[in-house]
Amino acid sequence: MQLTNSYADLPPRFYQRIAPTPVRDPQTLLLNEPLARELGLDPELLAQPDRLAAYFAGNETLPGSQPLALAYAGHQFGGFSPQLGDGRAHLLGELLDRDGARRELQLKGSGRTAFSRGGDGRCALGPAIREFVMSEAMYGLNIATTRSLVVVSTGEPVFRETALPGAVVTRVARSHLRVGTFQYFAVRRDVDALRRLADYAIERLYPELRDGTDRYMALLEAVIAAQLELVMDWMRVGFIHGVMNTDNTTISGETIDFGPCAMMSAYDPKAVFSSIDRMGRYAFGNQPAIIAWNMARLAETLVPLLDDDEDRGLERAQQCIAGVPERLDDAWHTMMARKLGLPDGEAEEDRVLTGALLTRMHSEQLDYTITFDRLTRALAPDPEPTLLAALEPRWVESWRARLAARGVEPARAREAMRRQNPVVIPRNHHVEAVIEYTTRTGDPSRAQALLEVLRDPYTVGAATAEYQDPPEDGDRDYVTFCGT
């Protein structure tokens, strides 16, 4: 395994060159074997937990690695911080996976950097396990996401409200560029850096735009398209990111940072679980509006690249952003129609149908995943008669009539719906139980058992039923915390 690091070719003001801080007693706790194979990691290395732990704790340097802490800024809960950056992460480098795709390896929890501000540069074990499980669940759900390769426990405590065991998690991403990376240079009026950053992003993530005449506008549009698709995928499965700050919004369109994320159980647009989100800014139903806002922040940074004339550049950015809310609204309705087996294209009438269903689900506090799973199963040749008992019979009739009117056979609708509607999601209480158990015992078996189910969430397997139950208390008292 030989790493390269194309980011290190960018000017020094893009990052700090800094090695991870070694830890006392690194132990491999979780290894993502399918991902390790995808990345083509040396099987000999994988068979040696000690060496693996030393590399992925940052105690030893992987061949070719040039560790960097990346500079970025960001809007956090709407307020702008001109300087955030990797305060507890090190980009180790890139490698080509077995499909020839470039993937970045980053350690998180690997020590202080120039961007740490007051932080200790460390990560507690619980949040590291959470990132590992949740990112793999998202991948299983077919949602663009960063992934986790290894969780190494450090043998050192980290001090939060109490002393907690420490960990380093290795994150794998197509790219760690964020909206906040562009903001970092925009706020410094460093147009040269912005241009280099935009060119780098195009080269790495959207090479098909390389030779276009208007490539910075094309980049903006490509990021918007990727983020719209991503957020609609979150909405499709009930994922609440929890901290959609612009520094946690990728240029690649991958899900990143699983700190206070949660899954919605009962359908509720206002669902929010993060302890720090008191205003509900990042509530489930707000996520489309927030991504529109974050894309506007990205557009602003690109103004100097969109036209030599600043006013004209601003006008072009605004034109591009102006269409986003309507596109989001269309995308939301298309996504919902697909969850009901309805083909794209006749939005108006389908909207009435999905609207009525969601109103019912909200007022009856029906579980999002279970309801759509039941609707899917209701189209089987011989369904259980009580499957849709929670829904209004008249609504069910009009749904079936709508499918018939659109010429969709139930069997075909069911197949299409199955691809949209998971049978199992990483339910908060199961994820918490696994984190608690794994942290306490150091035994990875329960995490692996959960992951085996979550890697195939559209299929009922032998153990699926163990993880399908909704929370007994409807997650009423569930609270998530930022992994700081």
- Active site residue ranges: 247
Distance CA 258, CA 191 (A): 32
Nearest residue to ligand AMP, using CB?
A: 119
Q: In the structure encoding, which two tokens stand for residue 358, read together?
A: 């969601």
Q: Which of 20, 67, 87, 444 binds ligand AMP (CB under 6 A)?
A: 87
85 binds ligand AMP (CB under 6 A): yes
Q: Which of 257, 268, 350, 373 binds ligand AMP (CB under 6 A)?
A: 257
Residue 389: other Cβ atoms inside 10 A? 10
What crossing angle do the helices spanning 191-205 and 287-306 adopt, rounded to 10°?
A: 120
Distance CA 260, CA 224 (A): 24
Closest by Cα among 235, 209, 203, 236 to 222: 209
For Mg ion, the binding residues in 197-256 under the rule CB under 5 A are 248
CB closer to ligand AMP out of 24 and 117: 117
Distance CA 108, CA 136 (A): 16
Size of the site for ligand AMP (CB under 6 A): 18
Q: Are 458 and 145 contacting, i.e. CB atoms less than 8 angstroms apart?
A: no
Q: Are 261 and 480 contacting, i.e. CB atoms less than 8 angstroms apart?
A: yes
Q: Which of 58, 67, 242, 259 binds ligand AMP (CB under 6 A)?
A: 259
422 binds ligand AMP (CB under 6 A): no
427 binds ligand AMP (CB under 6 A): no
250 binds ligand AMP (CB under 6 A): no
Of the listed pieces 120-128, 189-197, 353-361, 422-430, which binds ligand AMP according to CB under 6 A?
Answer: 120-128
CB closer to ligand AMP out of 88 and 402: 88
Of the listed pieces 240-248, 266-274, 344-352, 447-455, which binds ligand AMP according to CB under 6 A?
Answer: 240-248
CB closer to ligand AMP out of 32 and 106: 106
Q: Which of 3, 31, 84, 425 binds ligand AMP (CB under 6 A)?
A: 84
86 binds ligand AMP (CB under 6 A): yes
Q: Are 123 and 111 contacting, i.e. CB atoms less than 8 angstroms apart?
A: no
Helix (H) or strand (E) holding 173: strand 163-173
Q: Are 368 and 267 contacting, i.e. CB atoms less than 8 angstroms apart?
A: yes
Nearest residue to Mg ion, using CB?
A: 257
Please, what is the minimum distance in Å from the beta carbon of residue 366 to ligand AMP? 32
Q: Are 48 and 159 contacting, i.e. CB atoms less than 8 angstroms apart?
A: no
- 447-461: b or e for each residue (b if 16 or more CB lie within 10 Å)? beebbebbeebbeee
Can you give the binding site for Mg ion, defined by CB under 5 A?
Answer: 248, 257
Can you give the binding site for ligand AMP, defined by CB under 6 A?
Answer: 84-88, 115-116, 119-122, 243, 247-248, 257, 259, 482, 484
